[in-house]
């Protein structure tokens, strides 16, 4: 049976790709929500004193990415560093934009920004999973 959508890249095992993408989405949920303490959540959003809470947060993400890489493809350990850098840029960028706009949780712009932040994180997860099959 022919595919309805034309193939855009190299063939990959679909169910393996989906399983890895779900693992990365679960990693994101655990690191971004379950393990994010009040100190991390509020601290990384500050104008001053943001570095340590943000570092702890992104190191959680990178640690889980490293664990997944070491389990499935140890030669891709460096994807953890990519995740660390990209997650740092997304979260710090979100904070700078929110602070510049003066947006708070009671404003719609704040929630648009949170939604875009989560979109960028999931796009990053898709790219990381694609890297598992490309390298």
Q: How far apart are CA 117 and CA 41, in angstroms?
A: 14
pTM for the model stands at 0.93
pLDDT (average), residues 18-25: 98
**CA 66 vs CA 4, 15, 60, 77, 84: distances in Å:** 35, 22, 10, 6, 10
Q: Cβ–Cβ contacts within 10 Å for residue 44, how many?
A: 23
Is 9 inside any structural domain? no
Is 69 inside any structural domain? yes
Residue 78, domain extent: 14-134
pLDDT of residue 3: 74
Is 5 inside any structural domain? no
pLDDT tens track for 22-36: 999 999 999 999 999
Is 68 inside any structural domain? yes
């Amino acid at each position: 049976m022919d595919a309805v959508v034309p193939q855009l890249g190299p063939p990959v095992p679909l169910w393996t790709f989906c399983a890895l993408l779900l693992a990365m989405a679960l990693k994101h949920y655990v690191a971004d929500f379950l393990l994010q303490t009040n100190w991390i959540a509020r601290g990384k959003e500050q104008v001053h004193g943001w570095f340590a809470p943000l570092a702890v947060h992104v190191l959680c993400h990178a640690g889980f990415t490293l664990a997944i890489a070491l389990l499935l493809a140890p030669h891709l350990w460096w994807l953890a560093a990519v995740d660390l850098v990209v997650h740092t840029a997304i979260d710090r960028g979100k904070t700078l934009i929110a602070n510049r706009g003066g947006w708070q949780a009671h404003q719609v712009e704040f929630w648009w920004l949170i939604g875009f932040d989560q979109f960028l994180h999931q796009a990053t997860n898709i790219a990381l999973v694609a890297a598992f099959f490309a390298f």
